[in-house]
């Protein structure tokens, strides 16, 4: 719901020139966006400045102007223009600018034809529409759809506020969408140039000024095989930030941050979550100011970024998703989960169980042929697995990771008879077939590189930095994307491919393009990401039946931008069940379990060398898409015999995992001896609890776990004991779990009776 009110307020101000208090009237237009439990309010003052009023627990008051403290501030422009610079540094602005007196972090900065970067945006007008407009970016040779949440008129309403810059003719449309059934507000912007050329140096998606600094700062950090580790610390004076300058959202930081009250836990306290729908360099920062207030900003990283706008051109700023909860961090997470499952993920598999697959990577690495793959498929089929995925090593002349990226045709020395013959053979026994691709990369040892060395991103005259003995293709160039697309299309038209794992195994270096002029080279970071979006949109549009799973050296591109194209993302190359507890916990802070690529792998684990029970590996992988990554023909017979029951359990509980509400019952970051979580159906009739004992307890003492999310008034039967109790009893009193030994686990079902 969006309300707009024009209000006149009477104030008394100290007039420095007159030497006394003088009355004045401030007329403003207030915009109040309401979701079921939150309110976001802003106002355009008479001066044209657009100010933030409030974000938090819902209020239905139509006049919140007093929260701006205009009656307290002696530097309000209408009364005291001589000290307007001080006013600028104390006022909560909606889209703060650089160069006119606000010395806090700006959201936008533009360089004009004279080289000046000062900006002064003023309010012009507004409009309100039902639903949510699509985002796109016009390029010289195509229009690229920009990933964002979507909604129709019954789900959301959108406010568009137009601002104009005084001396350059730059206009900015600020978009705010309030969702009707979720406590989520999204923000994006379009910057248009109506005058002479300007260069955008910074274009962030959102800025929110909070009246306090009494918050904790939560981020999801890590490294390869250790992604999305939860870090929490109190805010301090100055700036605290996370970002990426790698060309992707990265292993090291995720484009998610949260401000939470100091006392916030899973079930209580306030939480504000911010997530950028973008897959490239990002920037998120909380700045505690001299007045102990906080400004949060998020958007495309301004580091090494610029974008030229000629007259008539525009730039689309990616979307920032904002979620508010007054019921703790868990409720914030569940709102993100519902929003992304309903309003971001698209396609045939949006609301559908994903096929149970077996991937040959950890089973064979590069050492396979068509007979080895078929033997895995045949055994897997007998056990109930539904799809074979052929990973790296099937194309060009690739037998290790040092060649052939860019040569997307089958290696018939390895796959004798060709890809179609193998796919038909696997299909013939009732198995689906998928393949691995790394379309953004090129090997120095490839036919493509020998023909087009300038297609690799590079700085002329500098040595090209290799990583995994490969370079990055210049996806800012349409001819490059068209070439790769023609190869992918030939593969997909030739054989019945029903799944693609899209990988990206290195970051960007020597970032320059042979096709861009010198004054537009800093656009390449963003143009590269737009190129990836363009190709993935082609794939989703022309082959809607294909299940796409994104991956980047594991979980380096687990972000909402990728979820717009693929309903699932490979969470991490670390498949160890115990390591995955932290990775999947951290991921669940913002992203739904249905999006987490998770597999049962071999032991000792190939990443950490740990051995865990096969049952525990299965129970942990069920908190995701579920599959296998091992040589099913060589594993111990006891493990092989367990696969059918694991698959039966997964099929039984996947509807809960895919559509239900997730509750984190343990915190593996605070107590590394155990973890536990629950999924509860939306109608509260069924729930499933998973408990993992990382370290055994002395004297075999049981551990008491308190379930969550049940209806306190309904009665449930526990599959663990067969006992029936009200939901309130289970949640308030808890259940006792006793397991003997390390790395053990169990699954408990609660069914309404």
Q: Show which residues are catalytic.
A: 503, 573
- How buried is residue 131: exposed, middle or buried, by Cβ count under 10 Å (0-12/13-18/19+)? middle
Q: For residue 229, give the nearest of 252, 196, 260 by alpha carbon.
A: 252
Q: For residue 273, give the nearest of 308, 298, 293 by alpha carbon.
A: 298
Residue 682: φ, ψ to 5°: -60, -30
d(CA 26, CA 73): 13
How do beta strands 198-210 and 294-300 pair? antiparallel
3-class DSSP state of 84: helix
Q: Which two tokens stand for residue 650?
A: 């997964």
Q: Which two tokens stand for residue 734?
A: 């808890």
Packing angle between helix 614-621 and helix 577-588, nearest 10 degrees?
10
d(CA 512, CA 302): 17
Q: For residue 598, give the nearest of 628, 632, 630, 624 by alpha carbon.
A: 624
Contacts of 638 (CB under 8 A, 6+ apart): 614
How do beta strands 596-597 and 568-570 pair? parallel
Contacts of 532 (CB under 8 A, 6+ apart): 279, 440, 475
Q: Are 336 and 273 in contact (CB under 8 A)?
A: yes
Tokens 């504000």: give the residue. Answer: 272
Tokens 């990426």: give the residue. Answer: 244
Q: Are 497 and 431 in contact (CB under 8 A)?
A: no
Q: Are 122 and 163 in contact (CB under 8 A)?
A: yes
Q: Are 304 and 525 in contact (CB under 8 A)?
A: yes
d(CA 329, CA 327): 7
d(CA 343, CA 394): 36
Q: Which two tokens stand for residue 405?
A: 């990226």
d(CA 280, CA 622): 29
Q: For residue 353, give the nearest of 659, 592, 738 by alpha carbon.
A: 659
d(CA 395, CA 372): 16
Q: Which two tokens stand for residue 347?
A: 């396609």
Q: Which two tokens stand for residue 704?
A: 């008491």
3-class DSSP state of 572: coil
């Amino acid at each position: 719901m969006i309300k707009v009110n024009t209000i006149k307020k009477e104030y008394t101000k100290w007039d420095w020139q007159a030497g006394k208090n003088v009355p004045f009237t401030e007329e403003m237009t207030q915009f109040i966006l309401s979701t079921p439990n939150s309110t976001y309010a802003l106002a355009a003052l008479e001066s044209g400045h657009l100010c933030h009023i409030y974000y938090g627990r819902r209020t239905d008051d139509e006049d919140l102007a007093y929260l701006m403290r205009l009656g307290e501030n002696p530097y309000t422009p209408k009364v005291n223009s001589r000290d307007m610079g001080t006013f600028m540094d104390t006022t909560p602005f909606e889209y703060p600018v650089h160069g006119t007196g606000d010395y806090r972090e700006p959201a936008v900065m533009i360089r004009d034809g004279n080289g000046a970067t000062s900006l002064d945006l003023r309010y012009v007008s507004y409009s309100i529409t039902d639903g949510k407009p699509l985002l796109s970016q016009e390029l010289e040779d195509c229009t690229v759809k920009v990933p964002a949440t979507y909604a129709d008129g019954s789900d959301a309403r959108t406010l568009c506020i137009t601002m104009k810059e005084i001396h350059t003719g730059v206009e900015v449309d600020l978009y705010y969408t309030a969702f009707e059934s979720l406590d989520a507000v999204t923000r994006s912007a379009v910057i248009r140039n109506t005058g002479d050329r300007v260069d955008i140096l910074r274009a962030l998606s959102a800025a929110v000024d909070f009246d306090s600094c009494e918050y904790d700062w939560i981020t999801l950090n890590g490294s390869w095989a250790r992604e999305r580790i939860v870090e929490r610390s109190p805010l301090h004076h100055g700036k605290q930030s996370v970002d990426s300058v790698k060309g992707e959202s990265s292993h090291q930081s995720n484009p998610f941050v949260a401000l939470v009250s100091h006392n916030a836990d899973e079930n209580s306290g306030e939480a504000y979550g911010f997530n950028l729908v973008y897959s490239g360099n990002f920037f998120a920062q909380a700045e505690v100011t001299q007045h102990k207030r906080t400004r949060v900003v998020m958007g495309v990283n301004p580091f090494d970024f610029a974008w030229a706008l000629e007259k008539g051109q525009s730039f689309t700023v990616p979307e920032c998703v904002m979620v508010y909860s007054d019921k703790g961090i868990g409720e914030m997470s569940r709102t993100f989960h519902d929003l992304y499952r309903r309003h971001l993920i698209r396609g045939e598999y949006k609301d559908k169980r994903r096929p149970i697959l077996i991937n040959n990577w950890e089973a064979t690495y590069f050492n396979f042929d068509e007979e080895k793959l078929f033997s895995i498929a045949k055994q897997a089929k007998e056990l109930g697995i539904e799809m074979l995925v052929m990973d790296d090593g099937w194309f060009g002349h690739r037998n290790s990771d040092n060649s052939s990226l860019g040569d997307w045709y089958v290696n018939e020395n390895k796959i004798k008879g060709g890809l179609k013959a193998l796919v038909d053979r696997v299909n013939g026994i009732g198995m689906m077939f998928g393949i691995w691709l790394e379309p953004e990369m090129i090997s120095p040892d490839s036919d493509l590189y020998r023909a087009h060395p300038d297609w690799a991103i590079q700085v002329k005259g500098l040595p090209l930095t290799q990583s995994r003995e490969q370079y990055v293709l210049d996806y800012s160039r349409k001819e490059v994307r068209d070439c790769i697309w023609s190869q992918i299309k030939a593969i997909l038209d030739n054989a019945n491919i029903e799944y693609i794992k899209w990988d990206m195994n290195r970051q960007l270096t020597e970032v320059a393009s042979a096709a861009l002029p010198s004054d537009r080279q800093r656009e390449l970071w963003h143009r590269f990401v737009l190129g990836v979006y363009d190709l993935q949109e082609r794939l989703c549009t022309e082959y809607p039946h294909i299940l796409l799973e994104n991956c980047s050296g594991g979980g380096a591109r687990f972000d909402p931008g990728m979820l717009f194209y693929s309903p699932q993302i490979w969470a991490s190359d670390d498949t160890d069940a115990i390591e995955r507890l932290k990775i999947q916990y951290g991921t669940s802070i913002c992203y739904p379990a249905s999006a987490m690529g998770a597999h049962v792998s071999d032991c000792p684990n190939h990443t950490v060398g740990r051995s865990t029970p096969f049952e525990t590996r299965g129970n942990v992988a069920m908190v995701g898409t579920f599959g296998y990554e091992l040589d099913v023909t060589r594993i111990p017979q006891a493990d092989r015999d367990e696969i059918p029951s694991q698959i039966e359990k997964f099929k039984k509980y996947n509807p809960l995992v895919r559509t239900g509400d997730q509750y984190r019952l343990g915190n593996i970051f605070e107590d590394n001896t155990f973890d536990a979580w629950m999924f509860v159906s939306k109608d509260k009739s069924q729930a499933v609890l998973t408990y993992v004992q990382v370290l055994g307890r002395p004297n075999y003492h049981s551990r008491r776990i308190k379930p969550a999310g049940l209806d306190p008034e309904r009665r449930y039967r526990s599959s663990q004991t067969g006992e029936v109790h009200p939901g309130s009893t289970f949640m308030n009193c808890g259940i006792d779990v006793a397991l003997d030994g390390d790395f053990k686990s169990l699954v408990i079902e609660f069914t309404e009776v």
